[in-house]
Chains A and B, each alone.
Chain A
Amino acid sequence: MRTITLRPLRAIGVPLEAEKISPDVFAPLSLSQIRSLEAFQGNRRTLIADHFKVEGDEAVALVEETTIRLEGDFSRVKRIGENMSAGTIEILGPVGMRAGSGMKGGLLRINGNADDWLGREMRGGKILVSKNAGNYVGSGYRGEKCGMRGGEIEIDGSAGAYLGEHMCGGTIHVSGNAGDFPGAVNQGGIIVIGGSTFLPGAEMTKGTITVRGKATVLPSYKKVEEIQIEGLAYQKYIGDLVENGKGELYVALG
């Protein structure tokens, strides 16, 4: 097992495009090669070593056996773990936009808050967030038919608006509340919201959304039966009928 640790040298102002911070990129490189990886800051070409202190095991390892630890404030560092296929990234602190975007496998553990577009268009793997996440978790970029297609996202806190927009597969668990319009245009994903939310499943055609707290349901949903899941009573709805949808929406009763 190889562990590489990055710590910011100073506070980062203009956001950094850090798609190179990924086990797939780091695994075959020595520490000095990692330090000289390129990262755009705005329109300036900079190096990883300009922003971070890089320490850890020198010997190269397989991607699966590579762990990257990011310690400190990474809230202005974008695209961490983009397209990663295996290995682990552990972040101790907040992380910037688009963490785990296009992720295919491995584990991204965030001990802190995550910004917008967490796991956008994710294909596989697992993302764990100990605090809150921003808007568009597991969504697709503008114009994309599918957002998240596979994998798992677990958020211990709350999530912002448009949770899992355009989702085609995979699972998202939010322990707290979710912002407006979770599961919009859901086409097969599973979303579980521990708290409350507003207008879930707009234009959903397939998939499941479960809300354990309160939810305002769109008028284009058809009420079906009441059912029990894990000892809790839910009202089941089918929709979104605007799209002739077969999606299932469960909202806790009482």
Chain B
Amino acid sequence: MIIRGGIVYDPANGIFGEEMDLCIDNGRIVEDAKGEVIDASGLLVMPGGVDAHSHIAGPKVNTGRIMSPGDSRMGTEPKTAVCRPSTGYTVPNCYAMGYRYARMGYTTAFEAATPIIESRHTHEELEEIPIIDKGALTLFGSNWEVMECVRDKDISKLAAYISWGLRASRGYGVKIVNPGGGEAWGFGSNVKGLYDPVPNFDVTPAEIIRALAQANEMLQLPHSIHLHFNNVGKPGNYTTAIETLELLKDIKPSRMRQIVHVAHMQFSAYGGTSWRDFDSQAPVIADYYNTHNHATMDLGQIIFGNATTMTADAPLEYGNARLLHAKWSNHDIELEESSGVVPLIYGRKMPINAIQWAIGLELALLTKDPWKVLMTTDHPNGGPFVNYPEVIALLMSKAKRAEEIATVHELVTKRTTLPGIEREMDWNDITIMTRAAPARVLGLEDKGHLGPGADADISIYNLKPEEVDPSKDYKLVKNALSLAKYTIKSGQVVSIDGEITATPEGKTYWVDAAVPKADMDRLMIDLKAKFERYYSIKMSNYMVQDAYVTRPMVIKTGEQVSEAVQ
């Protein structure tokens, strides 16, 4: 297949809007090819979108569905010759996830948090999401074994546990959510800061985060630790954010990437002492990112309207439910985590929501290097991913922002710097934030770029970048990005003008990290005792079997001594 005459943005390979042809053979980008020709003359061409942080599969998504029957009625679409029926808006059914990502030109999405014990369900849902490639990050932040290794300062055993945990969950990387807080919540409390000890474990969140980061680098995992800070969603939490980032800056990365990826930074850039004097501290966070190079972030941008918050930060969800008098689901996940789900509505005229909305945009616009900022809405916590084109239009146009600011609560002008920000992003910035950077941050070498050998995941939009001024024609930008002219996944056209034409099944990435046998043996003694004494299921029933990951894409890493891990 040849894509002819498109204006190609491939910033990872130094191509910034050049007219060129792309050749595809056997699902990959190649130098030269024959066959079908797609005419993309003058149209915007980018690598397929990569979403590095999205909640698309697993028990908490399903809980969200069960809690909101009203949501299921929004966005129903009947089946077609190609597609199965779609339902839902903030928590769509599995099929709709795949179709809607593909329609926007996205071809990869990673589930951002799954406890090991719940991973089988996560994979059952991932298997049913059509078209896109996916993976799941595994939760380690409040895990008993992790905290015991940290207490004993045994980083090699911790690395062995991560290796085992990734294999058990068929997971891709180390997710940490409110470290220690998930365990503290089991006793009805929370950890209040980096140095607040976890009940019964004699470790602090700071120790957990540092140890997991060190173990992550010891295993040379493709992705860094993926961190949901302590105190997320609380006024004044920007200090926790900066403290945590400072804590990690001396760790040496084992690969050419960040040491820590911060999830949904918008929820961690809050000033003030309560919701009354709550304001934006996004400029402080952005300054930190402008002067340090060890961290990346994704936005967690708020979208006005319905959302379903779902997180392993259970105390946060308890707070949400109480504050908003909303429906609340709470879940205790044995030795590993706790979690919560709360559906809510972000209102334009609600002062808190309006400021949150502005903070996300400030973070993106004030951080100079787009490689450090991924565009997400923390789907569906900030809002459903189908709204990405709206966020892109906001980032590209000051006029669009001014138009929106006029409709939101006026405190935005007093408590944030958004109205004064002049920056308008260009297509390079957008391609980096939605494609190149997420792939690099995750360590996906074949994604997010269009160099020879890359996966032939391409999005072509009905928009001529040489004629359209996104600053003025933001409506056109939003419309064009909402329904890609062509979405190509692994060399196959899957969507044309927003209509799904084929539903191939994507791959699931997971990481097989090898560790020395001695470490694994030491770990097994611990784990056997835990399964005998505490777990509700046996270790032999705990591991996700191959049958649940039918199209695996295994990335091998760590020391090449692997037979121990069984």
* A positions within 8 Å CB-CB of B: 140-145
Contact = CB atoms under 8 A, between A and B. Distances in A.
Main secondary structure of the interface of A (DSSP, over half): loop
Nearest to A140: B70
The 4 A-B pairs at the shortest CB distance, nearest first, are namely A143-B70, A143-B69, A142-B69, A144-B70
A86 B364 CA distance: 47
Candidate in A142, A143, A145 with the most chain B CB atoms within 10 angstroms:
A143
B350 to A, nearest CB: 15
B73 to A, nearest CB: 7
Contacts of B70: 140-145
Interface string B46-83: 00000000000000000000011111110000000000
B48 to A, nearest CB: 34
A144 B67 CA distance: 11
Contacts of A141: 69-70, 73
Nearest to B327: A143
A144 B68 CA distance: 8
B375 to A, nearest CB: 30
Contacts of A142: 69-70
B76 to A, nearest CB: 13
Interface residues of B, number: 7
A139 to B, nearest CB: 13
A140 B73 CA distance: 12
Contacts of B71: 143
Given A143-B69, A143-B71, A143-B73, 12 more contacts: A140-B70, A141-B69, A141-B70, A141-B73, A142-B69, A142-B70, A143-B67, A143-B68, A143-B70, A143-B72, A144-B70, A145-B70
A143 B66 CA distance: 10
Nearest to B67: A143
Contacts of A144: 70
B69 to A, nearest CB: 4
Contacts of B68: 143
Nearest to A205: B325
Contacts of A140: 70
Contacts, number: 15
Nearest to A243: B325
Contacts of B67: 143
Nearest to B70: A143
Nearest to A144: B70
B72 to A, nearest CB: 8
B184 to A, nearest CB: 29
Contacts of A145: 70
Contacts of B72: 143
A104 B232 CA distance: 42
B102 to A, nearest CB: 27
Nearest to B73: A141
Contacts of B73: 141, 143
A162 B280 CA distance: 45
B325 to A, nearest CB: 9
A145 B72 CA distance: 14
Contacts of A143: 67-73
A141 B69 CA distance: 8
A227 B68 CA distance: 41
Interface string B320-340: 000000000000000000000
Interface in B494-522: none
Nearest to B66: A143
B326 to A, nearest CB: 10
Nearest to B68: A143
9 contacts: A140-B70, A141-B69, A141-B70, A142-B69, A142-B70, A143-B67, A143-B71, A143-B72, A145-B70
B418 to A, nearest CB: 30
Contacts of B69: 141-143
A145 B71 CA distance: 11
Candidate in B68, B70, B71 with the most chain A CB atoms within 10 angstroms:
B70
A96 to B, nearest CB: 20
Nearest to A142: B69
A247 to B, nearest CB: 16
A146 B72 CA distance: 16
A159 B67 CA distance: 29
A163 to B, nearest CB: 20
A141 B72 CA distance: 11
A131 B71 CA distance: 34
A47 B269 CA distance: 57
A168 B29 CA distance: 57
A219 to B, nearest CB: 22
Nearest to B325: A243
Nearest to B72: A143
A43 B296 CA distance: 51
Interface string B91-111: 000000000000000000000
A141 B73 CA distance: 10
B341 to A, nearest CB: 14
Nearest to A145: B70
A251 B71 CA distance: 37
A144 B327 CA distance: 12
A140 B69 CA distance: 11
B544 to A, nearest CB: 32
A186 B72 CA distance: 23
A144 B70 CA distance: 5
A145 B68 CA distance: 10
A98 to B, nearest CB: 13
B344 to A, nearest CB: 11
A204 B71 CA distance: 23
B328 to A, nearest CB: 14
A77 to B, nearest CB: 21
Nearest to B345: A145
A140 B72 CA distance: 14
A43 to B, nearest CB: 11
A56 B149 CA distance: 82
